[in-house]
Amino acid sequence: MRTSSKIIASQMSGGMDSTSVTALANQQSATADKQIHVISHTYKTVASCDESERINEMLQHLNIKNVHFMAAEQHAKLDFRQLYPPSIENPGTVCSPRYTDEMKLISDIGANVLLTGSGGDEMTWGHSLTYSRRLLQGDFKTIQEAIRGCKEMQLPLINTLLHLFVIPFIPQRVKQGIRKLRGKSPTSNIPVWIPSTTQTLLAQHEASMSDAIHFSNPALQARYHAWQNSSTINSVRSYHQASELFGIEVRHPFFDRRLVEFSFAIPDNLWIRDNYPKWLLRRSMSGILPNSVCWNKNKIIFDCFFGQIIRDQKKIIRTILSDKRLEDMGLVNNKKLLQEFDALVKNPNQSLNVNLLYALMAQIWFQKYAHIFGH
């Protein structure tokens, strides 16, 4: 039986999710005779990912003295296949030495529990369909809020309003008919480098899955679909795999079943309000987190960091993606896939698309384990 430790590790960036988990754990630690150690990651090579200012502000605000910074760039010079080697069970579950280093550090400080903010986006962000739902319920201020949001975020006004207040009311069969007339795939969620025959199969599978659980509220249906297909699940699996070797229990409070079920009962007007996504979480944490964190609208996107790794290893990765065996099996169109990869490499400001990352990991997985399955 695992012996309970008096030390609990908590990942903390400068965003709402991990700071909320750390702040609440810190509140509970005093009465539970526990001590919180914060694990934070630094991004020195990509300035847009750097959250050190808000991390330090949170540490001071919570009066947490035990902090351990880990450089995200550590091991970045490794071949991508060594940096993110996939598990045989799933191409998205990786055995990264970065995760191993983190678990070793947590073990060395005497903790056997790690808290994360994973799942915060999926459980608290809401969905843009809540705007159309609020309008249907007679909240006409929603339109003013959307216009103000377009100005703040420099979004195209007419196109955004159409997507918020017109397109959601068009029946799905009409949308699919329009896409077919325009020569596009049945669903817009499938990458262009998936061959048309496979696109049809994936669309049919997606339709059958979405029918498994049906909400009358389309915003909840969209949230459920996004949750089911979230790339965060791969990170969760990877951390759990790395933690098993060190006897560490990784907990993701936002993915707690009770919280997940409760989130689907939250009224539409509490998800996004006054152009603040995660409004209910922000309101709940107001006074616990500093306003500069709690009411900050600027979300850090770490895809830029991973995009830079891809560019740094472009020759190796292009070789990986050029393997024709998955194309011979009808699973990818190599020409279109490489076109998307080349576009990413040429544009230093473009973030890494998660679908491209999936294709890369699938190729690495196949090339590593294909011989086991006779390929």
Q: What distance in Å separates the CA atoms of residue 250 and residue 9, rounded to the nearest whole number? A: 9
Of 365 and 5, the structure prediction assigns the larger pLDDT to: 365
Q: What is the pLDDT of residue 307?
A: 86
Instruction: Tell me the whole-structure pTM to 2 decimals.
Output: 0.88
Average pLDDT, the chain: 89
Lowest mean pLDDT among 54-63, 119-128, 150-159, 334-343: 150-159
What percent of the chain shows pLDDT beyond 70?
94
305 neighbors 166 (Cβ within 8 angstroms):
no
Q: What distance in Å separates the CA atoms of residue 218 and residue 164, rounded to the nearest whole number? A: 12
- Mean pLDDT score, 290-303: 86
Please write the tens of the pLDDT for every residue from 45-98.
888 888 999 999 999 999 999 999 999 999 988 999 999 999 999 999 999 999
Q: What residues form DSSP beta bridges with 67?
A: 38
Domain residue extents for the chain: 7-119+230-255, 127-228, 303-373
- Outline where the chain has alpha helix (H): 16-31, 52-62, 80-83, 97-108, 120-124, 129-136, 141-153, 157-165, 172-181, 196-210, 218-228, 232-244, 257-263, 279-285, 291-294, 303-312, 314-321, 325-328, 334-346, 354-369
Evaluate if residue 240 carries a pLDDT over 50: yes
- Mean pLDDT score, 311-335: 94
- Mean pLDDT score, 227-231: 86
φ and ψ of 144, to 5 deg: -60, -40
Tokens matching residue 235? 């990170």
Evaluate if residue 315 carries a pLDDT over 60: yes
Q: Which CATH class is domain 7-119+230-255?
A: alpha beta
Nearest to 189 by CA among 225, 162, 163: 225
